[in-house]
Amino acid sequence: MSKIRILPDALASQVAAGEVVERPAALVRELVENSLDAGARHIEVHAQRGGIAMIRIVDDGSGMDREDAMLSLERHATSKIRTKEDLGAIHTFGFRGEALPSIASVSRFRLATREKEALVGTEIEVNGGKLVAVRDSGGAPGTVIEARSLFYNVPARRKFLRTENTEFAHVEQQLRLHAIANPQVAFTLTHNGELVLHLPATRDMLERIRGLVGDELASRLLKIEETTVQGVTVSGYIGGPGMSRSSRQMQTTYLNGRPIESASISYGLREGYHTALMKGQHPVTFLFIQMDAHAFDVNVHPAKKEVRFHDGNSVRDAISRSVSHTLENAVKLPTGHAPARAMQTAPAAAHTPPVPDNRQEQFAMPVAASSAPLRNIAPAPMLTPQPQPSAPAVSHRVADVLERIATGRSTPAIQPQTPEATSPKAAQEQEEPQEPKAPAKSEPPAPPEYRIIGVLQKLYVLMEGKEGLVLMDQHAAHERVNFEKFRRAIESGGVPCQRLLLPVTLQTTPRDADLLRQNLAALNRLGIEIEPFGPNIFKVETLPAFLKTDDPAAWLDQVIEELSSLSTKSSSLRLSEDAIATIACRASVKSNDVLSIPEMQALLKDLFACEMPYCCPHGRPTLVQISTAELERKFGRRAPG
């Protein structure tokens, strides 16, 4: 007797349903995508008991005739693709032809649909994959799909569903993802008969985001102006410096309107935020990517969230450049508000009272600068403030550094300073002659007009500004100033190196060995003299002079790990930045160091001459603003909202 048998259609559909419909939220994803493909302009989602008891999707899309309605319940029946060539350039959300038969096989299913020109529509009932009835329907144009008692006939799957609140949270999150990407479509969500979300159609993407996450968070977002790099167009909104989350729950990205997850995008965001993001934190993003459908493959998994790019580096580079440019041009101070909870429950999100806009106004009169240098109050003294030309955008700066690395062009290497040369005067005398001659550039914007009114806990400088109270972390601010000073030195002349007493040998995997061979020139320019020493073995003779480590091998392992996570167009700049940040931290004023008013003013002036003044190289805020309106609310002088 044969051991191999063909599965019955009903059982095969239930097996397929395990990949397509793992919980009520997946059902919502598939049906809402079908509604969007049908051109719907209003979509209603009704759920009972978290979607386990019932999910109903109502749309005003194109609808179907009876023949198409019957065919839609057959496995691998779809109107989205025709040939194998279509599979290489998918322009619709759905295309696999698995969703409806899979849902119908694990629920009590009802479909009612009518085309706009038709006098009557069609209603179909299916229970656990078995056709029950087909009849005429007199409903409104569009489609209504209802699935009750999800997994009622698959108890092994039903027992893995979570609580009602958990399942509905996933349903709501799924609808929010589609609502953000489609502001021109109105969405309604109810749970157990209660209205949860009501989002009218709008042409303003930020207005849709505001309706979902609240005015406070939306007002702190930075707009990414639409930018195209190597065929990849990036736009959207991102959180500014100091605005992050401990999870990726608010890191939403879309590819041609489809919510996706991709390692290339995560790496691009990490590179773009650079030192504006704390380790272990994730940015708040509403990122939209547009590119040729032939350049990626979404047919990777039935859930269609994972994509593969033909050229992941170009995607990472486009995201990195767009994000870094937006952050460098940011004019919003971090605020003292508690961050809004990520994708909070709908009633609160949809009806959050407006909060006054806390964005920083156009820079006004400069702070009165002092010519007196800061005192030697840190392990390494602060250099006398010097005029700094406005820096180009990160993307151009990175390209210049890489070109110098590739061609070997550079100014003479910077010599390590002796202890006698670390005084402000000596440092100024040494640095001024080596100042590279740059073409005339516009001066950086003058810092805002702040009046220093005191110091809190010997760390936070309290200042009064036009918008209200501003607090400056003197250690974080000095870190940012020193960090950019050290980085400019590296970019202009290469890194001075120190020779190891005993060379370090690295045993690597074939993949890491190939990665190191591709980056030998860049590593050498960064002060790491490394060369092949055998199959997958490398010998390291020197390390950067400013690096202080008791375990060079462990540090080099981190360098390799960093290389593997960065695109080739920005890795050379990022490789040594952790070490630079550490040195900058040690060379900065500390929490108990007392600064005079002129020193605070000089520090503030140097801070606003930096490319990214609002965060330290570890991603912590340097400045936090508490608006006058917020203070008035705290003291009861202004009604909430």
Nearest to 60 by CA among 186, 202, 160: 186
Whether 195 and 297 share a structural domain? no
Whether 283 and 147 share a structural domain? no
DSSP 374: P
DSSP 621: B
Is 358 a member of any domain?
A: no
Is 232 a member of any domain?
A: yes
| pLDDT interval class at 394 (50, 70, 90) | very low
Range among 305-309, 411-415, 582-586 with highest mean pLDDT value:
305-309
Of the candidate ranges 119-133, 411-425, 578-592, 600-614, the one whose mean pLDDT is the lowest:
411-425
| pLDDT interval class at 474 (50, 70, 90) | very high
Average pLDDT for the chain:
78
**pLDDT (mean) for 495-499:** 80
Name the H helices within 494-519: 510-518
| pLDDT interval class at 132 (50, 70, 90) | very high
So what's the pLDDT on residue 602?
93
Whether 221 and 257 share a structural domain? yes
Phi/psi of residue 125, each to 5°?
A: -120, 135
pLDDT tens across 446-467, in order? 667 899 999 999 999 999 998 8
Last residue of a domain, one of 350, 371, 399: 350
Residue 463 CB contacts under 8 Å (≥ 6 apart), including other chains: 450, 451, 452, 453, 469, 470, 471, 472, 604
- Greater confidence, 589 or 86? 589
Task: Tell me: pLDDT of 530 over 70.
Answer: yes
Task: Please state, as a whole number, how many other Cβ atoms lie within 10 Å of the Cβ of residue 632.
Answer: 14
- Greater confidence, 433 or 560? 560
**pLDDT (mean) for 153-168:** 91
Range among 138-142, 366-370, 437-441 with highest mean pLDDT value:
138-142
Task: For residue 128, give the CATH number of its domain.
Answer: 3.30.565.10
Nearest to 249 by CA among 212, 196, 291: 212
CA–CA distance, 144 with 111 (Å, rounded to integer): 6
pLDDT tens across 40-49, in order? 999 999 999 9
Whether 249 and 195 share a structural domain? no
Is 545 a member of any domain?
A: yes
Whether 176 and 288 share a structural domain? no
Of the candidate ranges 245-259, 464-478, 562-576, the one whose mean pLDDT is the lowest:
562-576
Task: Tell me: pLDDT of 346 over 70.
Answer: no
So what's the pLDDT on residue 81?
63
Last residue of a domain, one of 177, 199, 221: 199
pLDDT tens across 70-109, in order? 999 987 777 766 676 666 677 788 666 788 988 999 999 9
DSSP 293: G
Is 34 a member of any domain?
A: yes
**pLDDT (mean) for 561-572:** 57
Start-to-end CA distance of the chain, whole Å, equals: 76
Task: Tell me: pLDDT of 348 over 60.
Answer: no
Whether 210 and 336 share a structural domain? yes
Task: Tell me: pLDDT of 339 over 80.
Answer: no
| pLDDT interval class at 336 (50, 70, 90) | low
So what's the pLDDT on residue 641?
56
Is 179 a member of any domain?
A: yes
Task: For residue 563, give the CATH number of its domain.
Answer: 3.30.1370.100
Q: With 0.85 as the threshold, say if the pTM is over it.
A: no
Whether 168 and 25 share a structural domain? yes
Whether 210 and 195 share a structural domain? no
Task: For residue 261, give the CATH number of its domain.
Answer: 3.30.230.10
Is 275 exposed, middle or buried, given 0-12, 13-18 or 19+ CB atoms closer than 10 A? buried
In the numeric block, which tokens belong to residue 303? 């859930």
Is 225 a member of any domain?
A: yes
Range among 6-15, 316-325, 389-398 with highest mean pLDDT value:
316-325
Is 422 a member of any domain?
A: no
So what's the pLDDT on residue 452?
93
Name the H helices within 235-354: 263-273, 312-328, 346-350
So what's the pLDDT on residue 495?
66
**pLDDT (mean) for 209-238:** 93
**pLDDT (mean) for 28-36:** 93
Whether 191 and 216 share a structural domain? no
Nearest to 149 by CA among 139, 157, 138: 157
Whether 241 and 165 share a structural domain? no
So what's the pLDDT on residue 367?
37
Is 439 a member of any domain?
A: no
Task: Tell me: pLDDT of 25 over 90.
Answer: yes
Task: Tell me: pLDDT of 440 over 60.
Answer: no
Nearest to 227 by CA among 332, 298, 89, 320: 320
- Greater confidence, 548 or 296? 296
Whether 148 and 243 share a structural domain? no
Whether 216 and 193 share a structural domain? no
Last residue of a domain, one of 350, 368, 391: 350
So what's the pLDDT on residue 86?
65
Q: Domain of 538?
A: 496-576
| pLDDT interval class at 473 (50, 70, 90) | very high
CA–CA distance, 54 with 42 (Å, rounded to integer): 20
Contact between 222 and 285 under an 8 Å Cβ cutoff? The reply is no
What domain count does the chain have?
3
